[in-house]
Homo-oligomer: A and B are copies of this chain.
Amino acid sequence: SVNPDLASERQTASFSVEKLTALLDGGAEQTRMRRAVVEAIESDPVFSRENQYFQTQNERYEAAVRKAVHLQKKMHEMGWTENGPEYKYIYRALSGDVAFLLHRIFMRSISVLGSDKQIAKWIPLATQHKLIGSYAQTELGHGTYLQGLETTAVFDTATQEFILNTPKISAMKWWPGDMGRSATHTVVFAQLYIHGKCYGIHPFIVQIRSLQDHSLCPGITAGDIGPKMNFEHTDNGYLLLKNVRVPRENMLSKFCEVRPDGTYVRQGSQKINYFTMTSVRISLISDEVLTPLMKACTIAIRYSVVRRQSKLKPGEQEAKILDYQTQQEKLLPQLAAAYAFHFSNDYLQELFNRGYREIQKKNFDMLPELHALSSGFKAVITQHCTAGVEICLRACGGHGYSLLSGLPSLYTKILASCIYEGENTILLLQTARFLIKCFMAASAGQPVPPSVTYLAAVKHGKCPAKNKLDFLSPDIYTEAYQHVAVRLTSSTAAKLQDFIQSGVKKHDAWNQCTVQLVQAAKAHCHYIAVKNFAETVEKLETKAGIQKIMKHLCDLFALHGIFSNTGAFLHDGYTSAAQMDMVTASYLDLLAVIRKDAVPLVDAFDFTDQSLNSALGSYDGQVYQRLYEWAQKSPTNQMSPAYERYLKPLLHNTLSKL
């Protein structure tokens, strides 16, 4: 039975939840297919996530391997294929808690970087899991700066082999997933040396464990890097190489080849490589970043209408905590952000698909813009969503702090997304570099990519809003965001030039502007996100109440951004103090409006109880019952040796005294 405090929230929905779910999925047919996949996975006990919060790192790893192996069988059984339409729903249904994800990266790197012959040899083996692959790039001492990698691969003409070494401790491969305990093979990135000359970083297929008994191959030292903040299910590993020899054929050679005599030959364009990074950054947004925020919102908002605490009006029953303005102000902007970034992700996907079509026609013109947008959005969305999950966690008070709420695990996992696939600050500076370049070009009257044409038109006007309702006009707030993005880019470009003209070296000048460059890059992405949300709302059907509630969320997303960052909008007087008070008033009004639909808005995300795995967030809202039931299963409720060892001796003389 559904908790009546939750049930009542659903009766007053201003829109059709089912239609909104279909909109998020990209159509009712997609919703149907997703649900079928979820149903097939969740009804299979091998994929159960029960007791997950009680498991050790070793148990989590073992379960992830079990699931990965079983998944092959399941896919065969269900007729799902890696290229089929159901595939993208499988990972989401498993909540990512499965092994051999790096095996897929191993395969992709061979497909992208390998010759036809190499692809023909390795891909079938990998597809049939005749080996387990990994991807060994990051080193103990080297992450973001690939050119700094220290692992070496020296070509030995005599034996036609490469000799691989990790010459220093900082050269040790560190972090590769699936490598600590599972992988038999890996792609090692190393500095290629031929006849004493360094040719830079190249990829080599290296076998690291015996296929017979899984023992480490000669010259290999490898293991697991130990406990992390999350990802207990993944055996992130370390790898030391000591004179490990691989045949010449094991260097992935689509773009570069070493001939038998040691001649180095470069072939084709490597530009496509950048495209791979772009693709990875965009593809992680949905499953790794948006889904956790949506889950966190679902948990925190459902809990906030079931939890009653203190009195809002004297003499009445204790109030639902979502009725407090401060609680609304914590949670509802996160909900709006989840929707905003869902649509940003659609925008990036579309841009990416267009870019891909162009690249297939050998037109690489879109690459810089795609790279800049995917880098900036990866950073902004991961940052924003990580903060959002943390806010949801804290907003649930003590119960949010229990692992059984599901929120700690969501937080500790999403946090990693700020670091992997490009550390966020580094990424924002790449976006900033693009912005500065485009701003200079635009100022010189040269053409620039579509997403930055706005930089050309620096306007010095004032915000025309006259009352608080004007701030519910997308034109008004989108223009304000645009103004800020232009101002931050142009002022930083000017500062950079001032430095250089006053004799500061270019690299020093850049470093001394980086704090502000990061601000400019964020403002750019925030502007695009607001603009895209507003345009998406514009195009929605006016039926079923969906456009109306999405408009409210878009307004909230935009006004929350202004309210949280007033200085940027006030700075040059574009927005006046009186206007800022209007923003605040409209913003606070919106909270009360959206609060009414808060539960239906998270219901539309359509998470099953199994996938939320939260004692606070289930569909029926039976929070306290579930917390109690789950806690009783905890291994901490078994007898502890601490009693016999320490407590009994301490207490054994007491009895006579009481």
Contacts and interface: CB of A to CB of B under 8 A. Distances in A.
Given A310-B148, A326-B425, A654-B130, A227 B53 contact: yes
B326 A518 contact: yes
Interface in A115-132: 125, 129-132
Interface string A392-420: 01100110111110001000100110111
A324 interface: yes
A54 B568 CA distance: 46
Contacts of A374: none
A608 interface: no
Contact of A642 (B56, B181, B312, B573): B181
A642 B62 contact: yes
A634 to B, nearest CB: 3
Given A404-B227, A570-B571, A588-B515, A636 B58 contact: yes
A104 interface: no
Interface string A626-653: 0110111111111011110111101101
Contact of A636 (B57, B429, B624): B57
Interface in A310-335: 310-314, 318, 323-327, 329-330
A580 interface: yes
A307 B141 CA distance: 7
Chain A: interface residue count, which band?
Answer: 35 or more
19 contacts: A54-B227, A57-B636, A61-B642, A130-B651, A143-B398, A144-B310, A145-B318, A169-B628, A225-B402, A226-B404, A226-B634, A313-B507, A314-B507, A324-B514, A325-B512, A325-B514, A325-B515, A394-B418, A397-B419
B325 A642 contact: no
A628 B226 CA distance: 10
B226 A125 contact: no
A170 interface: yes
A435 interface: no
Contacts of A57: 635-636
B394 A318 contact: no
A223 B631 contact: yes
A654 B170 contact: no
Contact of A326 (B416, B429, B505, B651): B429
A657 interface: yes
B229 A628 contact: no
A69 B642 CA distance: 11
A502 interface: no
Interface string A551-577: 000000000000001111111110001
